[in-house]
Amino acid sequence: MTDLTRLSAVETRQAIASGQTSAVEVAQAHLDRIAAVDGHVHAFLHVDADGALAQARRVDDGELTGPLAGVPLALKDVITTEGVPTTVGSRILEGWVPPYDATVTERLKAAGIVILGKTNMDEFAMGSSTEHSAYGPTHNPWDLSRIPGGSGGGSSAALASYQAPLAIGTDTGGSIRQPASVTGTVGVKPTYGGVSRYGLVAFSSSLDQAGPCARTVLDAALLHEVIAGHDPRDSTSINAPVPPVVEAARTRDVTGLRVGVVKELQGDGYEPGVTARFTEAVETLKELGATVSEVSCPHFGYALPAYYLIAPSEASSNLARFDAVRYGLRVGDDGVRSLEDVMALTRAKGFGAEVKRRIILGTYALSSGYYDAYYGQAQKVRTLITRDFQRAWESVDVLVAPTCPTVAFPLGAKLEDPLAMYKQDICSIPANLYGGPAASFPVGLSEGLPVGLQVMAPTLREDLLYLVGGALEDAIPYAVPPLTWETS
């Protein structure tokens, strides 16, 4: 029998359904794989072997069925799991065991998906390298000395190192797409409101969105269908049918599709290898029957500064609840210190430097007398960026750009330079501010490292992403990570 960890989700399900293997065998193979390689990669913060095997048994017993029943998945540690620790990559939630499942978790379980464990991430999803995790960085399976992207580097690295065929990420400014780009995997940020945020520990409420990650386009689409759809527990959840993503991932036909290349997301600051692979991929789409034109989105240049006002503002409020009173870390509670001192000491110790930076930024931006100049102004920019997208949809069906200006950079390279780190998300942030769906698909290598192409579509047109992704997948051979470190 072939190595079960090398199968796609679709192949895994076929193998289970046909009786070639069992869900328990598949789960065990992945747990063994994690035990063997995660010491190098550090994709997981917590492995739930008992829970995974119990769920696999339910699938084998026929209690749970469906197109992904018995397929293992790595869950980003920002999604709550009843009875299983959820840290959000932060000391402040070390040891916290949620008493409830997120809607995403519920839907995964109901679909028979086997959750292997919780993956590493930048603390509170703030970062682009996973280096801001309080529990140490994740390493890129393509080159262990390099970053796996962030914040969802654990999920993308788990896929690229064959520790799981499926993963869940969350994307506030690019945290699904940039990790997908630098690990050569598929990552989709659905339309804001397309997937319930109930149980997603909030970073920036108006931007956060969970989505599917996988090694193949069809796998991602199948997972997308499992987690998407209206949830009455999330007021911002859209009450509309899920777009036909699986059908699109199977159709893969871009004939006549109008593709717009974003003029503002290229040129200076983009690595030549990234530009080369991107240009070739666009050429490929043209050859496959798409029409390609350049589209100007004049306000995209303001997306990054607007994002760094809106997201920290919301974060400064969202993260206020971590105060040592009800759950999580408590520092200095010696019976003498005041409540305020204990709160302050806990937050000083429990939050990392990047989280503190953003809390301070956001607190400042919302302050009386500064609100209009910062938060208010950023919201206006957000409106202008939305208009850029709407104007683009008058002439094209989708927009494309590199997912990220660079390939994976070495660990530590941007740690001392927050602005350089922030610029990793320069291409991905506009879609978050607009709210429409966007995805990253692998389009080859530059100097041996993966490059991603980003597709952006109108709200609730996720199907267009999968059309393009599927077409590229067929045309550009999947680059298999060499994993040279495994044998050394």
Partner 1 sequence: MSYETDLAEFEPVIGLETHVELGTASKMFCGCATTFGAEPNTQTCPVCLGLPGALPVVNAAAIEATIRIGLALHCDIATWCRFARKNYFYPDMPKNFQTSQYDEPLCTDGYLDVDVDGEVVRVPIERVHLEEDTGKTLHVGGSTGRIHGATHSLVDYNRAGIPLVEIVTKPVVGTGVRAAAVAKAYVTELRDVLRGLGVSDVRMEQGSMRCDVNTSLSRPGEEWGTRTETKNVNSLRSVERAVRSEVERQAAILRQGGSITQETRHFHEDSGTTSPGRSKEEATDYRYFPEPDLVPVAPDPAWVAALKDALPEAPSVQRKRLIEQLGLSDLDAQAMVNAGVLDLVLATVSEGAPAAEARNWWLGSLAQAANAQGVDAGDLPITPAQVARVVALVAAGDLTASLAKQVVDGVLAGEGGPDEVVAARGLKVVKDTGALQAAVDAAIAADPDAAEKIRGGKVQAVGALVGQVMKATRGQADAAAARTLILSTLGVSE
Using CB under 8 A, list all residues that contact partner 1: 79-80, 86, 88, 93, 96, 98-100, 102, 197-202, 204-206, 232-236, 313-314, 316-317, 320-323, 325-327, 335, 339-340, 343, 363, 366-368, 371, 375
Nearer to partner 1, 140 or 313 (CB): 313
Least separation, in Å, of the C-beta of 306 and partner 1? 15
Closer residue to partner 1 (CB): 310 or 404:
310
Q: Give the residue from 37, 42, 28, 106 showing the smallest Cα distance to 72.
A: 28
> Nearest approach, Cβ of 382 to partner 1 (angstroms)?
12
Task: Determine contact, residues 402/300, Cβ cutoff 8 Å.
Answer: no
CB 453 within 8 A of CB 217: no
Q: Is 316 helix (H, G, I), strand (E, B) or coil?
A: helix
Residue 61 neighbours by CB distance under 10 Å: 9
Tell me whether residue 79 or residue 460 sits nearer to partner 1 (CB atom). 79
CA 295 to chain centre: 26
3-state class of 58 per DSSP? helix
Q: Which is nearer to partner 1, 325 or 353 (CB)?
A: 325
- With beta carbons less than 8 A apart as the criterion, state whether 131 and 412 touch: yes
Rounded Cα distance, 322 and 331, in Å = 12
CB of 319 to partner 1, least distance (A): 9
Q: Which is nearer to partner 1, 320 or 480 (CB)?
A: 320
Q: How far apart are CA 73 and CA 44, in angstroms?
A: 11
151: annotated active-site residue? yes
Determine the Cα–Cα distance for residues 28 and 153; give it in Å rounded to an integer. 23
Of the pair 232, 241, the CB lying nearest partner 1 is at 232
The residue annotated as part of the active site, out of 128, 151, 204, 446, is 151
Q: Rounded to whole angstroms, how far apart are CA atoms 185 and 200?
A: 22
Beta bridge mates, 188: 439
Please identify, using beta-carbon distances, which residue of 109 and 277 lies nearer to partner 1: 109
Q: What is the nearest approach in angstroms of partner 1 to the Cβ of residue 106?
A: 12
Could you list the beta-strand ranges (E) of 82-171. 114-119, 166-170
d(CA 485, CA 86): 30
Q: How far is the CB of 193 from partner 1 (least distance, A)?
A: 9
| Lookup: tokens for 191 | 């339309």
CA 206 – CA 252 distance, rounded (Å):
31
HSE-up of residue 346 (Cα within 13 Å, Cβ side):
26
Instruction: Please list, in sequence order, all residues whose beta carbon lies within 8 angstroms of the beta carbon of residue 391, skipping any fewer than 6 positions away.
Output: none
Phi/psi-derived region of residue 58, left when phi > 0, alpha when psi is between -120 and 50, beta in every other case:
alpha
Cα separation, 78 vs 94, whole angstroms: 13
Residue whose CB is less far from partner 1, 168 or 404: 168
- Phi first, then psi: what are they for 100, rounded to 5°? -150, 155
Active-site option among 90, 129, 175, 446: 175
Active site annotation includes 76:
yes
Q: Could you tell me the two tokens for 403?
A: 């997912």
* Residue 232 beta carbon to partner 1: minimum distance, rounded to whole angstroms: 7
Tell me the catalytic residues. 76, 151, 175
